[in-house]
Amino acid sequence: MNLVVKKFGGSSLASVEKIEQIADRLVEEQKKGERSLVVLSAMFGYTDSLIKMAHQIYPNYLGPAYDILLSSGEQISVALLSLALEKRAVKNKVLLAHQAGIQTSSFFSKAEIESIDTTKLENLLKEGYLPLVAGFQGITKDNQITTLGRGGSDLTAVALSASLKAEVCKIYTDVTGVFTADPRIYPSAIKIKELGFSEMMEMASLGSKVLQIRCVELASKSKVNIQVLHSSKKEEGTWIINKKETGMEGSVVSAIAHDLNTLVIKLTNTSSEIEFHSKLFSALGRESVFIDMISQSTHKEKSSLSFSIPHTDLTQTLKVLKDFVKEEDISIIDQAVKISVVGVGMAQHCGVAGRFFSALSQVKTQIYLLTTSEIKISAIIPEKNLKETVRVLHKEFFNF
Ligand code: ADP
Ligand code: ASP
Ligand code: MG
């Protein structure tokens, strides 16, 4: 019988009542003869509050203790769902990552899954148990607990789907699928029926956090079909599958993505010598700072250099900059958002950039940084212009 892996996200686990609703749903589906394995995230907001506490004690600490702390949220969720299933007389078994055989690298807080020993899970499934696996966590060869990066339960679900050759990996969340823009920012956005892996990967990397990027990469590599669904509304959802990507019918752009986890650093009076850039960006690289966009302008031998980074990398960035520029030459723009239009259809069409800028000109927004590729255009703009910019771009590319 085919296996379905079902992952429920934090928003679907916001209360005990919601956990009981998931239990009811699982009972119903089991009665229909579905054989499943469940992966859970932590309850809504739980991981954030753990991170806050950790930072109160030791800002920016990353290491074994941090991962032990963060992984605890998922342990609570699986235990509570197990209680709800016990009450409903469903044969189930809770498995933390080490019990589910999920072995990772020892890169704490961003560990990579190296292998999954599915023997135990397969035996449980054969014996008719419903396995409940704690998402987001792993174990190193030397038995240290790790976590897989924010949103990492999606990765657990896809990795288990690949290893157990599941028919589909269902990601249950608080929206009914993947939309042409974040429905919380633009409620008129349209649900997309099907997306290819590369388009979804591009959207995820540009901030559409409905799926974690690494899970889409793995799904693409191991050909796992994903369905994104609402955890309580029974609607069809969106399929992420291996398909010939030509863009949605008639539209050049498939979606508008935004990312609030971005800030711009502007350095003035910098050297325009390439050696300066080489040393600066190498030093930032050594501190694991993720650099997204870079732009430089030179005027009469004076240069200024801007680049964008995630908010979370600011402390390390400032530490590095101390050795390269004077404090008064550094400005930080933290109320910023990266907004992007994404679509494989863009590769075959001219004029997308013109349409992008003419839409942005209606908002009269400032643009801090810009970048383009064959299938996307991104601009970093002031955060206050986010909603209006999504609206005009949606109107431009989807006609409403
Ligand atoms: P979960 O807790 O289930 O993992 P997430 O918060 O990680 O849920 O992802 C769901 C959220 O993704 C939605 O609430 C929505 O605001 C956001 N989102 C961003 N872009 C999109 C998009 N294009 N389509 C659907 N949801 C999106
Ligand atoms: N609980 C973790 C997080 O908040 C993992 C997840 O939700 O997928 O990032
Ligand atoms: Mg998520």
CATH number of the structural domain spanning residue 79: 3.40.1160.10
Does residue 213 sit within a domain? no
- Indicate the top mutation candidate among 41, 156, 216 to test ligand 2's pocket, ranked by most ligand atoms within 8 A of CB: 41
Does residue 67 sit within a domain? yes
Does residue 143 sit within a domain? yes
Cβ neighbours of residue 123 closer than 8 Å, sequence gap 6 or more: none
Q: Which ligand 1 atom sits nearest the alpha carbon of residue 13?
A: 2
Q: Tell me how far the alpha carbon of residue 84 lies from the centroid of ligand 3, in angstroms.
A: 23
CA angle 192, 193, 198 (to 5 degrees): 75
Does residue 356 sit within a domain? no
Q: What confidence score (pLDDT) does residue 250 get? A: 59
Q: What confidence score (pLDDT) does residue 244 get? A: 73
Give me the number of domains the chain comprises: 1
Q: What confidence score (pLDDT) does residue 249 get? A: 52
Whether 196 lines ligand 2, by a CB cut-off of 6 Å, is no
Q: What confidence score (pLDDT) does residue 349 get? A: 84
Q: Tell me how far the alpha carbon of residue 217 lies from the centroid of ligand 2, in angstroms.
A: 18
CA angle 324, 328, 330 (to 5 degrees): 60
Does residue 68 sit within a domain? yes
Segments forming the whole domain that contains residue 119: 3-174
Which ligand minimizes its atom distance to the CA of 42? Answer: 2
**pTM (2 decimals)?**
0.94
Whether 9 lines ligand 1, by a CB cut-off of 6 Å, is yes
Encoding tokens for residue 87? 């009450």
Q: Tell me how far the alpha carbon of residue 71 lies from the centroid of ligand 2, in angstroms.
A: 9
Given a cut of 70, the residues of the chain with pLDDT beneath it are: 1, 245-250
Does residue 129 sit within a domain? yes
pLDDT in tens, 134-191: 999 999 999 999 999 999 999 999 999 999 999 999 999 999 999 999 999 999 999 9
- Burial annotation 330-343 (CB, 10 A radius, 16+ → b, else e): beebeebbbbbbbb
Chain centroid offset of residue 152 CA: 8
Does residue 48 sit within a domain? yes
Does residue 236 sit within a domain? no
